[in-house]
Chains A and B, each alone.
Chain A
Amino acid sequence: MRLSRRGLLRAGLAGTAATALGGLASGCAVPTGSTGRNMVLWYWSGGLSDTVVEKAKARYDDAVDLDAIQIGGYYRSKLITTMTGQAHVPDIAGLKGEDMASYLPNADQFVDLRTLGAEKLRSRYLDWKWEQAVAPDGSLIGFPIDVGPVVQFYQPAVYEKAGLAHEPEDVSREMGTWDRFFAAGEQLKKRVPGAFILTDVTSVFEMSIGQGTERFVNRDKHFIGDREHVRVCWDRAVEAKRRGLASSIVTGTPDAISATESGRLPSQLNASWAAGDLKLQYPRTEGRWRVANCPGGPSNIGGSFLAITKACREPEKAFEIITWLLGAENQAQGFMDAGLFPSTPASYGMRKLREPDPFFGDQITMDVLGPAAEKIPVAFNSPYDVALGQPVRDEIKNVGVLGKDPDEAWKDAMSKCRRIADHLGVSR
């Protein structure tokens, strides 16, 4: 056959047109969600245990093709873009704990899990965690995956050298309040030259806010960041600065790594999942760490949820899968695989979670983490909390790092908050 140039062009054009038309045709028929048989689950790397997800695929294979996709990058923006576009919306979606407040006002985009019988399971989960997924209209939009109880990771050898309590129980007791923790910090500084009990003062402010029941904006969309409960946290961080308890090291730099390894930063106030980071970053310090209660009481950082979107065709089946994925047994597996601290107290007593941990000198860390997780206070987290907390966080950083005058910093933070509140329609 003779191939003319014109013929080739025409064929190419026809091919392009056919592809474009085909794309257009299928574009019109984009499914908003699943088509019955397949069920799409969105989560992120490390958001669920891969073993448990694989097991769920096999287990529900008769009913659905569970298509679990790990979404990389900025997860929330990809999820809300997809939901707003109303195309290829996943049936089941992971929701990160820190984003929860921003999903709650749009509860109508998700299936109310109460309609699927979630209330019957409520007693098996941590109460404060459950409350985080309750929207203003009372509907439940997420089912608890994990939590992040905050504890104190510390190096007992350094504490001992400073003449401080160093056994986990003693540390929990002797440094149970911020005052006593600060006193210990002063003693540490005196006895071990160059050592600091805090890396920066921002963590004091952050943990203190987490230990309270109120944050920056209340349920009535009213700014409360200028009140006593925030001021107490602020003053506490300022006091840590004034007494010189914090180092001038920036977290995450080689300086911080070296200081931590050599025992000059022997303490970290952080969530349960930071244990994984410690093990990864400081493999040489195995056995030199212990876990004790966080001064001032427990708080939470992170932890996430699974939700069923409105696009899901088979919410009952999806709910069955979710509750199986997040049962006490599988949550225990999630802790072993991915460091996801269970939101099911029944898991805490399981033998496999009560193994001595060689990294923590064979301490059974669950003895500290479990009770901490159960005692975390319920706090209302407004969708405006991030915006109105940021100026205060920025200013406490200026006090801590740049040595800005605390009174001036507080004034600056408040005037900025007032401006942002007006802009966002938050009353004050």
Chain B
Amino acid sequence: MATAPLVDEPPAPAAGPPPANPRKGILSYWRLYAAISPFYLLFLAFGLIPVGFSLYLSFHRWDGLGPMEYAGLSQYRYLLSDTDFWSSIGNTLVIWALATFPMIFLAMVTAVMLNSAVRFKNVYRFAYFLPNVTSVVAVAIIFGSVFSTNFGLVNALLQAVGLDQVAWLNTPWGIKVAIATLMTWQWTGYNAIIFLAGLQTIPGELYEAARMDGAGPVQTFFRITLPLMRPVLLFVLVISTVTGLQSFSEPQVLLQSTANESTFSGGPDHAGRTMVLYFFQQTFDNNDFGYGAAVAWGIFLVVVIFSIVNWRLVQRRGED
């Protein structure tokens, strides 16, 4: 029954010579195209069409339910003059920088430590990976407690060393630091595992040779490990740029104070309002789907610029 043909096909085995007509040639590969089609169909339905529609939407005014109204370029014109959007880009970049650089440093240190011979290596690897697979929402709620003013862990530590309390979630910089710390905590382990994989590709002979030449551990790290880790470092940088520019759940959950308030406002002075949070506020709080789409394309442009910068960095490294 498995051999019952459902479609007509030539009785001869398919191993014949390729037909001369190129069009017929493409057609004769239809099975292969059919086999790879699911991805393209899904991408079309859930990727390309929504992307195209959002572009169309950004030239309209729409409340999500009623008729659409053509708006020309007015949404984009407003976007350019929208100080809130620009400040949200600034917030995103500051939070990204506050999160990424400590994270890369910590991840590298962790990876080097994991790479040296320690016992229970797998236990550590598992433990370091755990924060990354924990729900952001749960993590943000816990960090809300950690950073609370009177009973938070952070302030308890500050006071233990004789410093003053900081109202973390009530000051613009405190909010940014809290969000960045959350992101650092969540991504350090993940990137440490990636660094570890990179470290393990460095041949042991190089270290042996270095030791023979009398290099200490610090010199070995800066002269051998770091240069050979460059591609991995760049990969990590690219990945954290992509995730960092899209931060949304972290500020949203960390800063939602009461049920009576918008959850997308980003705290006092909008200190925690990232680009994506602003996009959500415009789209879903204000029901302004046209402008929301324009904001989304603005975010896209920012990401493109960053990607080009990243790409340039990779290119230059390649020429070395």
Q: Which residues of A contact B265 (CB under 8 A)?
A: 390, 393-394, 397
Interface 0/1 of B35-59, CB less than 8 Å to A: 1001000000000000000000000
- Please state if B257 and A252 are interface contacts (CB–CB under 8 Å): yes
Q: How far is the CB of B77 from chain A (nearest CB, A)?
A: 9
Report the nearest A residue to B34, measured CB to CB: A13
Contact of B149 among A16, A253, A397 (CB under 8 A): A253
Query: In whole angstroms, how far apart are the Cα atoms of A65 and B256 in the complex?
Result: 39
Q: How far is the CB of B296 from chain A (nearest CB, A)?
A: 15
Binds B, one of A101-109, A175-183, A356-364: A101-109
Instruction: Check A249 for interface membership: any CB of B closer than 8 A.
Output: yes
Instruction: Check A64 for interface membership: any CB of B closer than 8 A.
Output: no
Q: Which residues of A contact B285 (CB under 8 A)?
A: 386-387, 390
Q: Which residues of A contact B38 (CB under 8 A)?
A: 16
Interface 0/1 of B1-28, CB less than 8 Å to A: 1110111000000000000000000000
Instruction: Check A122 for interface membership: any CB of B closer than 8 A.
Output: no
Contact of B5 among A10, A81, A202, A206 (CB under 8 A): A10
Q: How far is the CB of B205 from chain A (nearest CB, A)?
A: 46
- Please state if B287 and A383 are interface contacts (CB–CB under 8 Å): yes
- Please state if A401 and B152 are interface contacts (CB–CB under 8 Å): no
* Residues A117-138 near B (CB distance < 8 A): none
- Please state if A248 and B167 are interface contacts (CB–CB under 8 Å): yes
Query: In whole angstroms, how far apart are the Cα atoms of A7 and B6 in the complex?
Result: 11
Assuming the contacts A202-B261, A387-B286, asked whether A106 and B65 have C-beta atoms less than 8 A apart, the reply is yes
Assuming the contacts A84-B64, A84-B65, asked whether A252 and B262 have C-beta atoms less than 8 A apart, the reply is no
Instruction: Check B151 for interface membership: any CB of A closer than 8 A.
Output: yes
Contact of B261 among A84, A106, A393 (CB under 8 A): A393
Report the nearest B residue to A102, measured CB to CB: B287
Query: In whole angstroms, how far apart are the Cα atoms of A270 and B65 in the complex?
Result: 32
Query: In whole angstroms, how far apart are the Cα atoms of A38 and B315 in the complex?
Result: 61
* Residues B262-320 near A (CB distance < 8 A): 262, 265, 268-270, 281, 284-288, 291
- Please state if A258 and B268 are interface contacts (CB–CB under 8 Å): no
Contact of A254 among B81, B145, B258, B281 (CB under 8 A): B145
- Please state if B150 and A255 are interface contacts (CB–CB under 8 Å): yes
Q: Which residues of B contact A383 (CB under 8 A)?
A: 63, 287
Most chain B CB atoms below 10 A, which of A102, A252, A253, A424: A253
- Please state if B149 and A398 are interface contacts (CB–CB under 8 Å): no
* Residues B215-261 near A (CB distance < 8 A): 256-258, 260-261
Report the nearest A residue to B149, measured CB to CB: A255
Q: Which residues of A contact B170 (CB under 8 A)?
A: 248, 250, 401-402
Instruction: Check B171 for interface membership: any CB of A closer than 8 A.
Output: yes
Interface 0/1 of A1-38, CB less than 8 Å to B: 11110011111011011000000000000000000000
Instruction: Check B66 for interface membership: any CB of A closer than 8 A.
Output: yes
Interface 0/1 of B135-150, CB less than 8 Å to A: 0000000001100111
* Residues B148-172 near A (CB distance < 8 A): 148-152, 167, 169-172
* Residues A333-390 near B (CB distance < 8 A): 383, 386-387, 390
Instruction: Check B70 for interface membership: any CB of A closer than 8 A.
Output: no
Query: In whole angstroms, how far apart are the Cα atoms of A368 and B260 in the complex?
Result: 22
Report the nearest B residue to A390, measured CB to CB: B262
Assuming the contacts A105-B63, A383-B287, asked whether A423 and B148 have C-beta atoms less than 8 A apart, the reply is no
- Please state if B268 and A402 are interface contacts (CB–CB under 8 Å): yes
Query: In whole angstroms, how far apart are the Cα atoms of A224 and B274 in the complex?
Result: 29
Q: How far is the CB of B315 from chain A (nearest CB, A)?
A: 40
- Please state if A1 and B2 are interface contacts (CB–CB under 8 Å): yes
Instruction: Check A53 for interface membership: any CB of B closer than 8 A.
Output: no
- Please state if A401 and B268 are interface contacts (CB–CB under 8 Å): yes
Interface size on B, residues (CB 8 A): 48
Q: Which residues of A contact B172 (CB under 8 A)?
A: 402
Q: Which residues of A contact B7 (CB under 8 A)?
A: 14
- Please state if B171 and A255 are interface contacts (CB–CB under 8 Å): no
Query: In whole angstroms, how far apart are the Cα atoms of A423 and B288 in the complex?
Result: 10
Query: In whole angstroms, how far apart are the Cα atoms of A254 and B144 in the complex?
Result: 9
Query: In whole angstroms, how far apart are the Cα atoms of A386 and B285 in the complex?
Result: 7
Instruction: Check A414 for interface membership: any CB of B closer than 8 A.
Output: no
Instruction: Check B101 for interface membership: any CB of A closer than 8 A.
Output: no
- Please state if A8 and B2 are interface contacts (CB–CB under 8 Å): yes
Q: Which residues of A contact B286 (CB under 8 A)?
A: 386-387, 390, 424
Instruction: Check B119 for interface membership: any CB of A closer than 8 A.
Output: no
Instruction: Check A192 for interface membership: any CB of B closer than 8 A.
Output: no
Contact of B258 among A11, A105, A106, A252 (CB under 8 A): A252
- Please state if A250 and B78 are interface contacts (CB–CB under 8 Å): no
Most chain B CB atoms below 10 A, which of A1, A81, A250: A250
Report the nearest A residue to B77, measured CB to CB: A423
Q: How far is the CB of B207 from chain A (nearest CB, A)?
A: 48
Q: Which residues of A contact B256 (CB under 8 A)?
A: 252
Q: Which residues of B contact A1 (CB under 8 A)?
A: 1-3
Contact of B152 among A106, A203, A254 (CB under 8 A): A254
- Please state if A398 and B65 are interface contacts (CB–CB under 8 Å): no
Assuming the contacts A1-B1, A14-B6, A106-B66, asked whether A248 and B149 have C-beta atoms less than 8 A apart, the reply is yes
- Please state if A83 and B65 are interface contacts (CB–CB under 8 Å): yes
Query: In whole angstroms, how far apart are the Cα atoms of A106 and B66 in the complex?
Result: 6
Q: How far is the CB of A79 from chain B (nearest CB, A)?
A: 9
Q: Which residues of A contact B2 (CB under 8 A)?
A: 1, 3-4, 7-8, 10-11
Interface 0/1 of A405-428, CB less than 8 Å to B: 000000000001001000111000
Instruction: Check A157 for interface membership: any CB of B closer than 8 A.
Output: no
- Please state if A301 and B260 are interface contacts (CB–CB under 8 Å): yes
Query: In whole angstroms, how far apart are the Cα atoms of A13 and B149 in the complex?
Result: 61
- Please state if A254 and B65 are interface contacts (CB–CB under 8 Å): no
Report the nearest B residue to A74, measured CB to CB: B284
Query: In whole angstroms, how far apart are the Cα atoms of A333 and B232 in the complex?
Result: 62
Query: In whole angstroms, how far apart are the Cα atoms of A259 and B260 in the complex?
Result: 20
6 more contacts with CB within 8 A, not counting A83-B65, A386-B286, A401-B170, are A16-B38, A106-B63, A251-B258, A387-B288, A394-B265, A402-B269
Q: List 22 A-B contacts (CB under 8 A).
A: A8-B2, A13-B34, A14-B7, A76-B284, A106-B63, A106-B65, A249-B150, A253-B144, A253-B145, A254-B148, A255-B148, A255-B151, A259-B150, A386-B262, A386-B287, A387-B286, A387-B288, A390-B285, A393-B261, A402-B170, A402-B172, A419-B81
Closest 10 CB pairs of A and B: A253-B148, A387-B286, A7-B3, A7-B2, A401-B268, A106-B65, A14-B6, A255-B150, A254-B151, A80-B64
